[in-house]
């Protein structure tokens, strides 16, 4: 009797290497095996450390505070700084310090302070804010963020207060 070869065989009896070319399937099998091993028993061992490290969430706490010399902010004037990678502005007013983020609340562009008009203008979509950061026109849905600050001696510490 002639033995019949089933070339369309699938499942446990199949030899995928024979059907699809040994090199590719063997490589894929090895790769899947390595992944399964990494997440299984070997996941707790050294083999899984690089993989686990890649899943470690990035620390997203408060950024380091920005420190400015109070003497660098003229009375009645302003100075700019960077906190958490974003620009801010500090006004030294008769009524006290006012510290505002320069990040537009619409889509996050950096707004520009226009001292002559006493407004913040966003170049992206023509949003604008008054001198206190209150949204007055265009698409911004909310005022500019007031940043926390504290004064320590002759230093102004923005953020992390
Ligand atoms: S990002 Fe400022 S108005 Fe759109």
Distance 121 CA to ligand 1 centre (A): 9
Q: Which of 18-32, 76-90, 109-123, 130-144 is the least confident region?
A: 18-32
Instruction: Report the separation in Å between the CA atom of 140 and the middle of ligand 1, taken as the mean of its atom positions.
Output: 6
Q: Are residues 82 and 46 in the same domain?
A: no
CA distance 161 to 148: 6
What total of structural domains would you count in the chain? Answer: 2
- 46 and 71 assigned to the same domain: no
* Between 44 and 102, the higher pLDDT residue: 102
Residue 137 belongs to a domain: yes
Residues 27 and 94 in one domain: no
- The answer to whether residue 2 is domain-embedded is no
* 96 in the same domain as 47: no
Query: 56, 76, 103 — which closes off a domain?
Result: 56
CB 146 less than 6 A from any atom of ligand 1? no
Pocket test for ligand 1, best of 87, 109, 112, 119 (most atoms within 8 A of CB): 109
Whether residue 153 lies inside any domain: the answer is yes
CATH of the domain at 112: 2.102.10.10
Residue that is written with structure tokens 């490589």 in the block:
27
Does this model's pTM top 0.75? no
H or E, element range at 137: strand 135-137
Structure tokens at 152: 């320590």
Would you say the CB of residue 124 lies under 6 angstroms from ligand 1?
yes
Work out the average pLDDT over 93-112: 97
Read off the DSSP letter of residue 115.
T
Are residues 153 and 112 part of one domain?
Answer: yes
Q: Are residues 149 and 110 in the same domain?
A: yes
For the Cβ of 103 lying below 6 angstroms from any atom of ligand 1, the answer is no
The pLDDT of residue 128: 98
Within-domain flag for 150: yes
Same domain flag for 76 and 149: yes
DSSP-assigned letter for residue 155: E
With cut-offs at 50, 70 and 90, classify the pLDDT of residue 59: low
Task: Give me the pLDDT at residue 40, please.
Answer: 47
Rg (CA), the chain: 30
- Whether residues 106 and 153 fall in one domain: yes
Rounded to the nearest angstrom, the gap between the alpha carbon of residue 130 and the centroid of all alpha carbons in its chain is 28
- For residue 24, what are the contacts with CB-CB under 8 A and spacing of at least 6? none
Structure tokens at 81: 């700084």
Q: Can you list the positions of beta strands (E) in the chain?
A: 66-69, 78-83, 86-93, 96-101, 112-114, 119-121, 128-130, 135-137, 149-152, 155-158
User: What is the reported pLDDT for 21?
Assistant: 43
Is 149 strand, coil or helix? strand
Tell me the residue range of the domain where 34 lies.
23-56
Helix (H) or strand (E) holding 53: helix 49-55
């Amino acid at each position: 009797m002639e033995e019949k070869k089933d070339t369309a065989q699938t499942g446990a009896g199949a030899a995928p290497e024979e059907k699809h070319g040994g090199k590719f399937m063997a490589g894929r099998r090895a790769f899947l095996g390595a992944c399964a091993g990494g997440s299984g028993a070997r996941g707790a061992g050294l083999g899984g450390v690089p993989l686990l490290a890649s899943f470690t969430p990035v620390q997203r706490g408060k950024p380091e505070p920005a420190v400015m010399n109070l003497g660098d902010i003229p009375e009645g004037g302003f100075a700019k700084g960077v906190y958490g990678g974003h620009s801010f502005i500090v006004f030294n007013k008769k009524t006290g310090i006012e510290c505002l983020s320069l990040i537009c609340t619409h889509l996050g562009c950096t707004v520009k302070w226009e001292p002559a008009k006493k407004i913040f203008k966003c170049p992206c979509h023509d949003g604008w804010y008054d001198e206190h950061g209150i949204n007055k026109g265009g698409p911004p849905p909310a005022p500019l963020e007031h940043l926390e600050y504290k004064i320590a001696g002759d230093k102004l510490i923005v953020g992390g207060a």
